[in-house]
């Protein structure tokens, strides 16, 4: 599943016209086609098509793992889930209409002969057209890169829960945008075992953890995300991973073989020496 850096990379590309995308602000929706009705969570397909046509794209940004396309009146939210991807492309080439692809689920036709296509092989992705995106995003936790999230606030939030630290960090109600890859990498950088009880993490450890989270996320954004476990294109953060999918390989810090366990039904990679559970004592 794409995580914060991958979603941020796509949103920025749509906003700024980077990585082969066309900058979308200023373009108007002139038509819509829904190829898999369950892709649309809200409203009904008929209402969606009626409302979105003739709305102009104002801005594209991100909240957690949601891509937010701000329109004249509404906001289009897209969650890519396991296998979603977005293409911006010309509708015609050499005078011929370009066919859609097998797993295309939602198409927005734009002026200047462009189209925005939501492709989703596994059909888990969802889209919402809302007058207020908070109807979906209000329950999300704070953004980990938001400077308003201080180390003191972060430590207090940890103390309010008695949960294993990895599942807590991946809980979108606790912290928005974290997923398997960047959580493993952040915990390794912070030298915390993924099973550490959150309420036993000291203020110093919490400060180190928040710093580590921000470091791996910023590196992920700088490298256009990671091309692991998903069809996401062109990311290279996977080349920087220290523990994720390095089972049995020597830790780059101490040489101890990296271990893999299941935590909350998710494959979890860590160094049993650098991240020893006794580090909490």
112 within a domain of the structure (yes/no): yes
> What's the number of domains the chain is made of?
2
Given the residues 12, 62, 63, 65, select the one marked as catalytic: 65
Q: Tokens for 197, please give them.
A: 């009880």
Has 2 been annotated as catalytic?
yes
Q: What is the mean pLDDT of each run of 10 residues along the chain (281 residues)?
A: 92 92 97 97 97 98 98 98 92 91 97 96 96 97 98 98 97 97 98 97 98 98 82 79 96 97 95 82 40
Contact 251, 241 (CB under 8 A): no
pLDDT at residue 229, rounded to an integer = 58
Give SS3 for 137: helix
Residue 113: C-alpha distances to residues 14, 26, 59, 85, 89 (Å): 16, 14, 20, 20, 9
- Of the candidates 123, 143, 266, 272, the residue annotated as catalytic is 266
94 and 163 part of one domain: no
Same domain, 8 and 133: yes
Domain membership of residue 162 (yes or no) is yes
The range of the structural domain enclosing residue 132 comes to: 4-137
Any catalytic annotation for residue 266?
Answer: yes
65 is catalytic: yes
Give dist(CA 31, CA 49) in Å, integer: 7
Phi, psi of 256 (to 5 degrees): -70, 135
The count of residues in the chain is 281
The bridge status of strand 66-70 relative to strand 59-63 is antiparallel
192-217: pLDDT as tens digits? 999 999 999 999 999 999 999 999 99
Q: 191 and 271 in one domain?
A: yes
Left (φ > 0), alpha (ψ -120 to 50) or beta: where does 123 sit?
left
- Among 2, 5, 133, 167, the active-site one is 2
Task: Give the CATH number of the domain where residue 206 resides.
Answer: 1.10.8.50
Domain boundary residue, one of 82, 113, 137 = 137
Give yes or no: 6 in active site. no
- Catalytic residue selected from 3, 6, 8, 185: 3
């Amino acid at each position: 599943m794409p995580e914060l850096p991958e979603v941020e990379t796509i949103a920025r590309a749509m906003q700024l016209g980077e990585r082969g995308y066309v900058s979308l602000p200023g373009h108007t929706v002139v038509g819509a086609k829904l190829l898999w009705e369950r892709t649309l969570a809200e409203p009904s397909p008929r209402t969606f098509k009626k409302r979105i046509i003739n709305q102009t794209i104002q801005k594209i940004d991100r909240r957690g793992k949601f891509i937010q396309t701000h329109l004249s009146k509404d906001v289009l939210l897209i969650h890519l889930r396991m296998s979603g991807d977005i293409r911006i492309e010309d509708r015609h080439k050499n005078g011929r209409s370009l066919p859609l692809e097998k797993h295309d689920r939602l198409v927005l036709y734009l002026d200047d002969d462009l189209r925005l296509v939501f492709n989703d092989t596994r059909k888990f992705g969802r889209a919402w057209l809302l007058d207020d995106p908070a109807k979906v995003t209000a329950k999300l936790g704070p953004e980990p890169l938001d400077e308003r999230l201080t180390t003191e606030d972060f430590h207090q939030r940890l103390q309010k829960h008695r949960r294993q630290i990895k599942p807590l960090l991946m809980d979108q109600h606790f912290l928005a945008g974290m997923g398997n890859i960047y959580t493993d990498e952040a915990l390794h950088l912070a030298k915390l075992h993924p099973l550490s009880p959150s309420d036993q993490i000291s203020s110093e450890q919490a400060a180190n953890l928040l710093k580590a989270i921000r470091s791996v996320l910023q590196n992920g954004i700088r490298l256009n995300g990671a091309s692991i476990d998903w069809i996401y294109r062109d990311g290279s953060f996977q080349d920087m991973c220290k523990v994720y999918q390095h089972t049995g390989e020597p830790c780059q810090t101490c040489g101890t073989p990296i271990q893999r366990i299941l935590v909350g039904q998710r494959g979890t990679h860590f160094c049993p020496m650098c991240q020893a559970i006794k580090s909490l004592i």
